[in-house]
Amino acid sequence: MKWILGTLALLILGLVLKLSLLVYAMYVLLGILLLSRFFTRTWTEKILVRRITGGDVFEIGESTEVTVEVENRGPLTVPWLIMEDSLPREVLTQMPHRVRVDGDRVELAGLKRGEVNSLSYTVTFLMRGYYQLGPMQLETGDVFGLHRRFRVAGEPHFAMVMPKVLSLQGYNLASRRPMGEIRVVHRLFEDPTRLAGVRPYQQGDPLNRIHWRATARTGQIHSRIYETSRVAGATFLLDFHTQSYQGGSGTMSAELAIVTVASLANAVYLMGQQIGFISNGRDAADRIREEGWQGEFRKRSDAQQRASDPLENDRLRPVRVETRKGLEKLSQILETLARLEHTDGLEFSEMLTAVISRIPRDATVVPVLRQVTPTVALALGELVKRGFLVTAVIVNVGTEIPEWSHPPEWAGLLLAQGIDFRLVNSEESIRELCMEAIVR
Burial 139-178 (b: 16+ CB within 10 A, else e): bbbbeeebbebbbbbbebbbbbbbbbbbebeebeeebebb
* DSSP tag of 234: E
How far is Cα 56 from Cα 83, in angstroms, rounded to an integer? 24
Helices (H), 46-181: 89-93
The predicted-structure confidence for 164-185, as pLDDT tens digits, reads as follows 999 887 554 333 344 444 444 4
Strand partners of residue 393? 368, 422
- Number of residues assigned to the chain: 440
- CB within 8 Å of 214: residues ≥ 6 apart: 198, 222
Identify the weakest region by mean pLDDT among 137-151, 235-249, 256-270, 343-357.
137-151
Identify the weakest region by mean pLDDT among 205-209, 281-285, 362-366.
205-209
DSSP3 helix / strand / coil % (the chain, rounded to 5): 35, 30, 35
How far is Cα 162 from Cα 329, in angstroms, rounded to an integer? 15
Cα–Cα distance list, 32 to 11, 35, 46, 365 (Å):
14, 5, 21, 71
The predicted-structure confidence for 188-243, as pLDDT tens digits, reads as follows 345 556 677 888 988 767 667 788 888 998 999 988 886 554 557 899 999 999 99
How far is Cα 62 from Cα 65, in angstroms, rounded to an integer? 10
Residue pair 369/239 in contact (Cβ under 8 Å)? The answer is yes
Q: Output the average pLDDT for the chain.
A: 82
Confidence of residue 401 (pLDDT cuts 50, 70, 90): confident
Q: Reply yes or no on whether the pLDDT at 290 is more than 80.
A: no
- Determine phi and psi for 221, rounding to 5 degrees: -70, 130
